[in-house]
A and B are shown apart, each in its own frame.
Chain A
């Protein structure tokens, strides 16, 4: 006891940074000693190795199925044999064990037929099987210039153009009385609420597919919290610098930018979904899909211009906002169709949801009526209307 207090008093004389480093140093020494002594007292592991593999990428070429698998279990896994639809097949690429978190790409010889379903089973050296389903076999498109062009065109159709068209509501929102404008703002919040829920659920679904070692569903939530905090931090930083926040919240143009960013992240997710579906052959390209997305996303343009109803932004500024909100659909489609990773996508969907929630928090003061209520009857009607609008137009598209 006495010795302890003396030691503490002596330690108290050290500079602050040294005191901060001391525990870290001790941990490093302890870990080093533990490793050097090979984990004294722990002995061998009990039970057989745990073998877990996640298929991260499936590529179909004539006569060949290519799978990229990641080991997301604690132990190394060695793929010994492969079956496709209950038949052993020839394959290459399984050279040696796959260590934790590393990947291997298998080239499987299989004369697959378009439109049919396949179940690939990876038989490990211990006899365990890891199965992967290909619901509808279709050739994976080559990532060439024409392909990127097509994805860009899709992104333009479903992202940039609808958002730009929606922004043409600006003159109208300028001309309506402030009570009506509040309803429009509530409608916008309703739209965003729907998108936040949608993005979260999509994220959860993707997280279930990816390697669980990276966090799975937690990635979506982390992405959400991270983007919420990042956007809040950036917003506050801008507010500090300009120091011209309006009494009830941030400035209109500031809000519009935040809305555009939130919607942009959402559209990145939408682009990803389109790209992935296209790459796996699950996307029915056609006028219906484009019309559906256009209607769905036009309402997003309204959400951007509503906060700046009382301002006179330059057309350049409007164009920039439109691109921030709609452009990511193009990038999303590129990424989704060429370098898709469900863990990354789950994180991005979470980030989109977080950004939208942040925008909702920022927008809500603008809905406030003369008596200071946010959820006044007109606002509730607007919110419900916004969600209903998104739900209905969402029925037109399913990716």
Chain B
């Protein structure tokens, strides 16, 4: 610490002594000085725990936000007479109690006892068949984002309609268009059914696959634990600060692909920002050409996109919502870039 202060003081002296040729020279000096101060100030109040107010990694549930990141469910495959691939899944709705922050329990509704529900992954043109069993005490459906017949839309009054407790439905459709989609319950009150955890990701890969990458699913969500229609906890994959004390490990200079979905209820928008890097952004993943090279994207509920990036530097880099309120209520994490 003493060394750092001395270096700062040294830089300041140098800064004064050297005549400035360009205004940006002084910016560079100021920035380096600031960096030293940051190092010196690390032990201050407000930083009593390492990175966040609580350790999200200490929360235990039937599912693990870290495992959800790389857990892709390709279903049970078989070949149809016409040569196409049939992918079948079984999704069961259930009422479970989850922990959204250390010691804070939330009575949730889920698909397959996890929030977000399983990440279903098909290939463009596959036939998708999902058998839905309602094991919850409440009526539910699965509504799909995608192009499909009305009967497979999963809304009350159409097709199999609202599925009562103990009931069953089969949703069948072609996997199209390729991209990043989602599914969620569409029973009213809609906000409640979504906020309670009835959602998941559906990835439809293009016929010509995307380049090989380390792939991560991040579902941005939140929980209204006191039922005042405002969230107490914000997160990626349900548990606040889950990726702070236990960061997501990625490899330096290798392609990382993030499937980012926003299902956040009660707040009009959500966002994603990464530190020390920029990413190619593919809105809804329906094109293989990125629309933007950026470090921040903003999404409304139901909006999603694919992010591709390579970390050129090793070390820890934050990612978080660029709504500071969400950040400090749990929606922040670290990438740990290793060689």
Chain A residues within 8 Å of B, Cβ to Cβ: 62-64, 78, 80-83, 86-90, 109-111, 121, 123-129
B255 within 8 A of A: no
Kindly list the 4 A-B residue pairs having the minimum CB-CB distance in the complex, ordered from nearest.
Answer: A127-B225, A80-B103, A87-B328, A88-B53
| A110: contacting residue among B46, B49, B228, B241, CB under 8 A | B46
Determine the residue in chain A with the shortest Cβ distance to B104. A80
Q: Are A88 and B226 in contact (CB under 8 A)?
A: no
Can you list 27 A-B pairs with a CB-CB distance of less than 8 A?
A62-B45, A80-B101, A80-B102, A80-B104, A83-B232, A83-B329, A87-B53, A87-B328, A88-B101, A88-B329, A88-B330, A89-B53, A90-B53, A109-B46, A109-B48, A110-B46, A111-B44, A111-B46, A123-B225, A123-B232, A125-B104, A126-B225, A127-B100, A127-B104, A127-B105, A127-B106, A128-B226
Interface of A: prevailing SS: loop
Chain B residues 316 to 339 lying within 8 A of chain A, measured CB to CB, are: 325, 328-330
| Binary flags per residue of B101-115, CB closer than 8 Å to A gives 1, else 0 | 111111000000000
Contacts of B241 in A (CB 8 A): 88
Contacts of A62 in B (CB 8 A): 45
Additional 18 contacts, C-beta under 8 A, given A88-B101, A90-B53, A127-B104: A62-B45, A81-B53, A81-B104, A83-B329, A86-B325, A87-B53, A88-B240, A88-B329, A88-B330, A90-B49, A90-B54, A121-B232, A123-B104, A125-B104, A126-B105, A127-B106, A128-B225, A129-B228
Q: How far is the CA of A78 from the CA of B101 in the complex (A)?
A: 14
Q: Are A90 and B48 in contact (CB under 8 A)?
A: yes
Q: Are B328 and A127 in contact (CB under 8 A)?
A: no
Determine the residue in chain B with the shortest Cβ distance to A48. B107
| Binary flags per residue of B57-98, CB closer than 8 Å to A gives 1, else 0 | 000000000000000000000000000000000000000000
Q: Are B102 and A81 in contact (CB under 8 A)?
A: yes
Contacts of B48 in A (CB 8 A): 90, 109
Contacts of B53 in A (CB 8 A): 81-82, 87-90
Determine the residue in chain B with the shortest Cβ distance to A86. B325
B217 within 8 A of A: no
Q: Are B52 and A125 in contact (CB under 8 A)?
A: no
Residues A125 and B49 in contact in the complex (CB < 8 Å), given A86-B325, A88-B329, A88-B330: no
Q: How far is the CA of A347 from the CA of B317 in the complex (A)?
A: 56
Say how far A12's CB is from chain B's closest CB, in angstroms. Answer: 60
Q: Are B105 and A86 in contact (CB under 8 A)?
A: no
Total A-B pairs, Cβ < 8 A: 72
Q: Are B329 and A111 in contact (CB under 8 A)?
A: no
Contacts of A109 in B (CB 8 A): 45-46, 48
Contacts of A124 in B (CB 8 A): 104
Contacts of A126 in B (CB 8 A): 105, 225
- Residue of B52, B232, B329 with most chain A CB atoms under a 10 A cut-off: B232
Interface bracket on B: 20 to 34
| A78: contacting residue among B46, B103, B240, CB under 8 A | B103
Q: Are B325 and A87 in contact (CB under 8 A)?
A: yes
Contacts of B49 in A (CB 8 A): 90
Contacts of B106 in A (CB 8 A): 127
Say how far B161's CB is from chain A's closest CB, in angstroms. Answer: 31
Contacts of B105 in A (CB 8 A): 125-127
Contacts of A86 in B (CB 8 A): 325, 328-329
| B329: contacting residue among A87, A127, A128, CB under 8 A | A87
Determine the residue in chain B with the shortest Cβ distance to A127. B225
Say how far A86's CB is from chain B's closest CB, in angstroms. Answer: 5
Contacts of B329 in A (CB 8 A): 83, 86-88
Q: How far is the CA of A37 from the CA of B329 in the complex (A)?
A: 46
Residues A127 and B103 in contact in the complex (CB < 8 Å), given A63-B46, A81-B53, A88-B53: no
Q: Are B232 and A129 in contact (CB under 8 A)?
A: yes
Chain B residues 277 to 318 lying within 8 A of chain A, measured CB to CB, are: none
Residues A81 and B54 in contact in the complex (CB < 8 Å), given A87-B325, A88-B101: yes
Q: How far is the CA of A62 from the CA of B102 in the complex (A)?
A: 27
Q: How far is the CA of A127 from the CA of B54 in the complex (A)?
A: 16
Chain B residues 228 to 283 lying within 8 A of chain A, measured CB to CB, are: 228, 232, 240-241
Q: How far is the CA of A124 from the CA of B105 in the complex (A)?
A: 9
Say how far B311's CB is from chain A's closest CB, in angstroms. Answer: 27
Q: How far is the CA of A87 from the CA of B52 in the complex (A)?
A: 10
Determine the residue in chain B with the shortest Cβ distance to A63. B45
Contacts of B101 in A (CB 8 A): 80-81, 88, 123
Contacts of B45 in A (CB 8 A): 62-64, 109, 111
Determine the residue in chain B with the shortest Cβ distance to A79. B103
Contacts of A129 in B (CB 8 A): 225-226, 228, 232
Residues A127 and B46 in contact in the complex (CB < 8 Å), given A80-B102, A88-B53, A90-B53: no
Contacts of A121 in B (CB 8 A): 232
Determine the residue in chain A with the shortest Cβ distance to B324. A87
Determine the residue in chain B with the shortest Cβ distance to A78. B103
- Residue of A81, A110, A125, A128 with most chain B CB atoms under a 10 A cut-off: A81
Say how far A126's CB is from chain B's closest CB, in angstroms. Answer: 6
Contacts of A64 in B (CB 8 A): 45
- Residue of B46, B100, B225 with most chain A CB atoms under a 10 A cut-off: B225
Q: Are A127 and B226 in contact (CB under 8 A)?
A: yes
Contacts of B103 in A (CB 8 A): 78, 80-81, 125
Say how far A91's CB is from chain B's closest CB, in angstroms. Answer: 8
Contacts of B240 in A (CB 8 A): 88
Determine the residue in chain B with the shortest Cβ distance to A128. B226
| Binary flags per residue of B18-51, CB closer than 8 Å to A gives 1, else 0 | 0000000000000000000000000011101100
Q: How far is the CA of A121 from the CA of B48 in the complex (A)?
A: 20
Say how far A67's CB is from chain B's closest CB, in angstroms. Answer: 16
Contacts of A110 in B (CB 8 A): 46
Q: How far is the CA of A81 from the CA of B44 in the complex (A)?
A: 21
Determine the residue in chain B with the shortest Cβ distance to A111. B46
Q: How far is the CA of A240 from the CA of B45 in the complex (A)?
A: 66
Q: How far is the CA of A90 from the CA of B226 in the complex (A)?
A: 21
Q: How far is the CA of A78 from the CA of B232 in the complex (A)?
A: 17
Say how far A195's CB is from chain B's closest CB, in angstroms. Answer: 42
Q: How far is the CA of A33 from the CA of B258 in the complex (A)?
A: 64
Q: How far is the CA of A261 from the CA of B104 in the complex (A)?
A: 52
- Residue of B52, B104, B105, B228 with most chain A CB atoms under a 10 A cut-off: B104
Contacts of A87 in B (CB 8 A): 53, 325, 328-329
Say how far B325's CB is from chain A's closest CB, in angstroms. Answer: 5
Determine the residue in chain A with the shortest Cβ distance to B330. A88
Contacts of B100 in A (CB 8 A): 127
Q: How far is the CA of A80 from the CA of B226 in the complex (A)?
A: 13
Contacts of B52 in A (CB 8 A): 88
Q: How far is the CA of A128 from the CA of B329 in the complex (A)?
A: 15
Determine the residue in chain A with the shortest Cβ distance to B328. A87
Q: How far is the CA of A182 from the CA of B36 in the complex (A)?
A: 79
